[in-house]
Amino acid sequence: MPRSKKHSAGKEFEPCLEPVDHPTQRQPSGCHVESPLLRPLPFWRQRSGGLTVGRDYHVPAMVDRVEHWLGSIDGTIVDATFGGGGHSRVLLEANPKLRVLALDRDPDSGQESASFGPRLTFRQADFRTLDSVLQEEKLNEIDGALFDLGVSSHQLDVGERGFSYRRRGPLDMRMGPDAEFNAEVVVNEWSQTDVVRILRRYGEERYAVRIAAAIVRARPIADTLELAGIVANSVPARARRAGHPARRTFQAIRIAVNDELAALSDVLDIAVRMLRHGGRILVISYQSLEDRIVKRRFAAGALGCTCPPDFPVCVCDTVAELRILSRGETPTDGEIESNSRARSARLRVAERVA
């Protein structure tokens, strides 16, 4: 395979070598794919349901702060994005009176839950269905709720899942088998207008028109590395220097496939409604679109009387349902150094007061 050329005006972004677990492989100069010499591929222990399960499923972000806000709560909390269970394990170990109802769309996540004891109940479900899950579990209220949004390390590291622009895999990007369509439909079947729309709305992509046109011209596109290369070739050379140029495109397609932002808005309303008085809701987001939804929902819940300030008495009878406890904590430098994927994490916390 030819070596990658130095990125410059008029030169194409050439595909990197696909990562393999080999101690002597080195990527071409300027390649955005992480070299196995720097980040070894996880050791896959088994396959189940067509998906590969990793030993190191996910390194959770901001564990200490999650324990700080939820560790002292007695009762039942919902871990709505269970993943590898890192947050739940810490909370259960910290508080013997705590029970966890864990949800995740990903079948692989259910296998991770098998190592937990009887104080954790796992349900393979979209957190958008939290209302019905609580009814089925005969829970009229909950004491806390945790949402760790985004993609898990496991989903990124397994090329078969199609989330990563650094590894070859199918155009999938489904968080779970319940998704109505996959990334292949978006990439190879959607109109150019619709592709532009999601790149702008969900990726905040400056070069949405160029990228969408390049995708349509290149159809059919076979896999993730081909898509990443097409995106990279369609943007100016200067746009290739600040991280991988396909990052926003992959984010936009993933959000569209999983309807992530609408689902987040829906579940925040459900979770706040089901919290008992004094219960807490924590959300860790990784990009501005998610964080904006959380920030606005918490702010709306914390808003009391909406009467004009010159009214002598309140006539709207609006009472604040939330008290904001944290307006946006970020990881420490030490955590970012040990877990680079936590870099963009932002934690917001609110408490039910009415």
The predicted pLDDT at position 56 comes to 59
pLDDT band at 113 (very low <50, low <70, confident <90, very high): confident
| Average pLDDT rounded to a whole number, residues 52-56 | 40
* Confidence check: pLDDT of 308 > 70: yes
* Confidence check: pLDDT of 60 > 70: yes
pLDDT band at 44 (very low <50, low <70, confident <90, very high): very low
Say what percent of the chain tops pLDDT 90.
67
The predicted pLDDT at position 14 comes to 47
Q: Are strands 44-48 and 51-54 parallel, antiparallel or unpaired?
A: antiparallel
* Confidence check: pLDDT of 242 > 90: no
Amino acid at the residue 292: R
* Confidence check: pLDDT of 5 > 50: no
- Give the lowest-confidence range in 15-29, 278-292, 312-326: 15-29
**Following CA atoms 320, 324, 328, 332 in sequence, which dihedral angle do they give, to the nearest 10 degrees?**
-170
Q: Is 135 helix (H, G, I), strand (E, B) or coil?
A: helix
| Average pLDDT rounded to a whole number, residues 185-193 | 98
pLDDT band at 61 (very low <50, low <70, confident <90, very high): very high
- Give the lowest-confidence range in 78-92, 146-160, 261-275: 146-160
Residue with tokens 């097409």: 230
The predicted pLDDT at position 34 comes to 37
| Average pLDDT rounded to a whole number, residues 176-192 | 95
- Computed from CA positions of residues 272, 275, 280, 286, in that sequence, does the dihedral angle turn out positive or negative? negative
Residue with tokens 């806390």: 144
The predicted pLDDT at position 302 comes to 96
**Chain segment 10-28, per-residue pLDDT in tens:** 444 444 444 444 333 444 4
What whole-number distance in Å separates Cα of residue 331 and Cα of residue 346? 8
* Confidence check: pLDDT of 79 > 80: yes
Residue-wise DSSP of 102-119: EEES-HHHHHHGGGS-TT
Query: Which pair of structure tokens corresponds to residue 100?
Result: 């966890």
| Average pLDDT rounded to a whole number, residues 311-334 | 91
* Confidence check: pLDDT of 45 > 50: no
Is the Cβ–Cβ distance between 205 and 197 less than 8 Å?
Answer: no
Considering only residues 155 and 22, tell me which one the structure prediction assigns the higher pLDDT. Answer: 155
The predicted pLDDT at position 168 comes to 94
